Amino acid sequence: MFITEDIKYVGVNDHQVDLFEGQYDVPNGMAYNSYVIMDEKIAVMDTVDVNFGKEWLENIKEVLGDKKPDYLVVQHMEPDHSANIVTFLEAYPEAAVVGNAKTFVMMEQFFGPISASKVVVKDGETLSLGKHNLTFVFAPMVHWPEVMVTYDSTDKVLFSADGFGKFGALDVEEDWACEARRYYFGIVGKYGLQVQKLLKVAATLDIQTICPLHGPVLKEDLGYYINKYDIWSSYKPEDKGVLIAYASVYGNTKKAAELLAQKLEEKGCPKVAIADLAREDMHECVEDAFRYDRLVLATLTYNADVFPCMKTFIHELLERNYQGRTVGFIENGSWAPTAKRVMTNMFEKSKNITFFENSVTIKSGVNETTIEAIEKLADEIVAMDK
Ligand code: FEO
């Protein structure tokens, strides 16, 4: 695949992976992207996952023919991109490895001493390949501390490491935003501040193509993608709407959650999403919590606490710095409902979280009193749209 006349795609699609990074469902697989820049000096940008070394080397060989690469640029040491460094150096022992000081510390931790020559770059430093000049911009914690992105000023290409990536192999057509959002909040969500810093640097560059390490190469309407990243990394809600996330054992809490959803729709709430936390993909739920400006958490009380999947969900939000949203509660408890208090306390260190004044307490089953409380909560939620 040609990215530009000199830049070729040599990545691979993975349809074998069951859980990406040990926890994310990837029903449409995953792509590990890698690129070759052909110039007086030839650079290969990153390697691929451990299971695809042979296919990747064949892709490189197809582009290079009898030529040999001069550099392997390592932008990120996470093994989905670095696992084949040694395999590459066995095939091309004369190539030099380009990274920063932190890259080489991790490289030795993963692989032991590396015999190849090393080019240790500093933030902002440029490496000339001949016609192409590669400038390295450090992007710590997007998504590990050694990460750097690379700007090719000749073809105006930003090699963006994990940034602008998405779940899904490249041979499957699907909407970008949905799986890019789930990927972003799953993997980089905690590091919004660092992504914002990177976007500020990116804004100073003339970028015509973004080459991420996962997902499609982005060439058109780059403002759309950059705007999404700006919204996500600044923790602003992307859309007006409500996610109702519930945990229910015997169906009573579920009934209240569904009743609230129905009332919100009747009252004209612009978007109502509802999720059964025990059964739906947890990271889809996390994605929706960040997407909308309002969240309602509905759970039974369990061991004087909240039901386990609700606890996991709130932890998933907190560890990604969930903030700037309005949160409401539906609790259930047959003898001592304490879930609302527990959940409120869980958010005590979160920035800019407001709670709805109205909440719903179910004592076992939904009755007239509960329905009245749901009505009041629904009115308060939709009042935010006026
Ligand atoms: Fe795709 Fe952070 O590795």
User: pLDDT digit string (tens) for 39-95?
Assistant: 999 999 999 999 999 999 999 999 999 999 999 999 999 999 999 999 999 999 999
Q: How confident is the model at residue 1 (pLDDT cuts 50, 70, 90)?
A: confident
Q: Which atom of ligand 1 is nearest to the CA of 162?
A: 1
Q: How far is the CA of 247 from the centre of ligand 1 (A)?
A: 31
- Among candidates 147, 153, 149, which has minimal Cα distance to 129? 153
Give 262-309 as a DSSP string.
HHHHHTT-S-EEEEETTTS-HHHHHHHHHHEEEEEEEEEEETTEE-HH
Q: How far is the CA of 78 from the centre of ligand 1 (A)?
A: 5
Q: How far is the CA of 65 from the centre of ligand 1 (A)?
A: 29
Q: Which atom of ligand 1 is nearest to the CA of 187?
A: 2
Q: How far is the CA of 81 from the centre of ligand 1 (A)?
A: 7
Mean pLDDT across the stretch 18-47?
A: 97
pLDDT over threshold 90, residue 200: yes
pLDDT at 68: 98
Q: Which atom of ligand 1 is nearest to the CA of 147?
A: 2
Nearest protein Cα to ligand 1, atom 1: 162
pLDDT over threshold 90, residue 31: yes
pLDDT over threshold 90, residue 108: yes
Q: How far is the CA of 203 from the centre of ligand 1 (A)?
A: 23
Q: How far is the CA of 57 from the centre of ligand 1 (A)?
A: 20
Neighbours of 280 (CB within 10 A): 14
Give 59-96 as a DSSP string.
HHHHHHTT---SEEE-S--SHHHHTTHHHHHHH-TTPE
Which tens digits make up the pLDDT trace of 348-365? 999 999 999 999 999 999
Nearest protein Cα to ligand 1, atom 3: 78
Q: Which atom of ligand 1 is nearest to the CA of 213?
A: 1
pLDDT over threshold 90, residue 386: no
Q: Which atom of ligand 1 is nearest to the CA of 161?
A: 1
pLDDT at 366: 96
Which tens digits make up the pLDDT trace of 251-286? 999 999 999 999 999 999 999 999 999 999 999 999
pLDDT at 12: 98
Q: Which atom of ligand 1 is nearest to the CA of 214?
A: 1
- Average of per-residue pLDDT values in the chain: 97
How much is the pTM? Answer: 0.96
Q: Is 132 helix (H, G, I), strand (E, B) or coil?
A: coil
The sign one gets for the Cα dihedral 172, 178, 184, 186 is negative
Q: What percent of the chain shows pLDDT beyond 90?
A: 99
Q: How far is the CA of 381 from the centre of ligand 1 (A)?
A: 38
Mean pLDDT across the stretch 290-299?
A: 98
Q: How far is the CA of 135 from the centre of ligand 1 (A)?
A: 21
* Contacting residues for 238 by C-beta, under 8 A, at least 6 apart: 181, 228, 231, 232, 290, 291, 292
pLDDT at 125: 98
pLDDT over threshold 90, residue 318: yes
Q: Which atom of ligand 1 is nearest to the CA of 165?
A: 1
Q: How confident is the model at residue 317 (pLDDT cuts 50, 70, 90)?
A: very high
- Among candidates 237, 349, 372, which has minimal Cα distance to 294? 237
Q: How far is the CA of 323 from the centre of ligand 1 (A)?
A: 25
Residues 76/213, Cβ–Cβ less than 8 Å: yes
Mean pLDDT across the stretch 219-243?
A: 97
Pocket of ligand 1 (CB under 6 A): 76, 78, 80-81, 143, 162, 213-214
**What whole-number distance in Å separates Cα of residue 197 and Cα of residue 200?**
5
pLDDT at 234: 97
